[in-house]
Amino acid sequence: MSGEQIIRARPKVNLYLEITRVREDGYHELKTLFYPLPGPVDELSLSPGELGSGFSLDCGEPELCAPSNLVWKAYDAFAAATGFRPDVHCRLTKRIPSGAGLGGGSSDAAAMLLWLQKEAGTAALDEAALVQLAVRLGADVPFFLYGRPAWATGVGEDLTPSGAHLAGWSMVLVCPKTKVNTGFAFREWDRRFLETVEPGAAILTCGQKRDMDAFCPRLPPLRNSLEPAVFPVYPGLGRIKGALLSLGAAGAMMSGSGSSIFGLFRERSRAEFAVRSLASARIDVRAHHF
C-alpha cells in the first residue's frame, strides 16, 4: 500500500429479531431484518507498517488494542486463509458505542475484510469463502459485507435482500451508557424461556404469522425476542422505549441484544422534539431522516 487510507464502518439496527430455533449445540437460530444506518461512523485509518511487522492496532482505548479486537481477528483470519499478510498499521477511531446492539465491532471487522480483499489481488477469496470467514468472526459480520437491508436466518450467514425501506420516516436512536453483553442476553433468554422448548425444536410465535405490512408498507411489525429477557434486568431500557412512544413514535424497539433503543416517527418535527426532550436527560440521542 502507498500512503494513508481511511475506510469507514457504519452501524445497523435490527428492525425485526426473532429466535426461531435453539439448536442442540446451544446456538440460537434467528430470523432478523438488518437495516444499515448512516451513522455514527467508526473510522479505520490504515497506513504502511514497518517491514515485517504484520498488523498493529491503535484505538485510543487500551482494552480494545489487542488481538481479541475483531479488526485484528479479521486480519489474522484473512491472512491464514490466503497467505496475504500486508504490513499495515490501523488507527481505529470508535464512534459506534459498544454493547449497544449496533454491530460496531462487526462492522469494523467487515471493513477490514473488504479492504484486505481489495488489496489481495490474485490471493483474494471467492465470495462464498469470504462469507464463511466472516461468519466465523461473528454472526453480524456477513451483513456488513453486504451493506444493504437484508433478512438473515440461521446464525446470520444466510442473507436475503429485502425491499424494506424507511423512506419518509425519521428514526430517533437512543444509546444509553448501559452496555448489554450479547452472551448475557441470550443466556438470560434461555434462563427465562428455554425450559418450555425442546432442544432442537423450532419456536413458533404469533409474530411469524402477522401481516408483514401491519406496521407500515414494506416493513414487518417491530419485534425483538430478546426484549422480555433484557428489560427486566435493565428496566431503564424499557423506560426509554416507553418515552419514545409517549413522544409520538409510531413504533419503538431495542436493537439486537441492546442497549440501544430506536423509535420510528412519521413526522420529522416530532422526531426532532423527541431528540430535544431526551437529550436533556444526558444520553446519546440522534435523529436520522430517511
The H-assigned helical ranges of 36-101 are: 70-82
**pLDDT given at position 27:** 83
Q: Mind listing the pLDDT tens digit for each residue in 137-149?
A: 998 999 999 999 9
Sorted by where each begins, the domain ranges of the chain are 5-161, 170-289
Between CA 38 and CA 192 the distance in angstroms is 35
Between CA 182 and CA 257 the distance in angstroms is 6
Q: Is 118 a catalytic residue?
A: no
**pLDDT given at position 204:** 38
Task: Say yes or no: do domains 5-161 and 170-289 share a fold.
Answer: no
**pLDDT given at position 2:** 73
Selecting among 12, 31, 73, 241, the annotated active-site residue is 12
**pLDDT given at position 221:** 78
**pLDDT given at position 195:** 67
Report the amino acid identity of residue 109.
A
Residues of the chain with pLDDT under 50: 199-217
Q: Does domain 5-161 have CATH number 3.30.230.10?
A: yes
Place of cell 469463502: 129
Long-range contacts made by residues 23-29, C-beta under 8 angstroms, separation at least 24?
23/199, 23/200, 24/199, 24/200, 27/155, 28/155, 28/186, 28/189, 29/153, 29/154, 29/155
Q: Is 12 a catalytic residue?
A: yes
What pTM does this model have? Answer: 0.90
**pLDDT given at position 12:** 98
Selecting among 42, 73, 108, 140, the annotated active-site residue is 140
Query: 92 in the Ramachandran plot: left (φ > 0), alpha (ψ -120 to 50) or beta?
Result: beta
Q: Does domain 170-289 have CATH number 3.40.50.800?
A: no
**pLDDT given at position 181:** 94
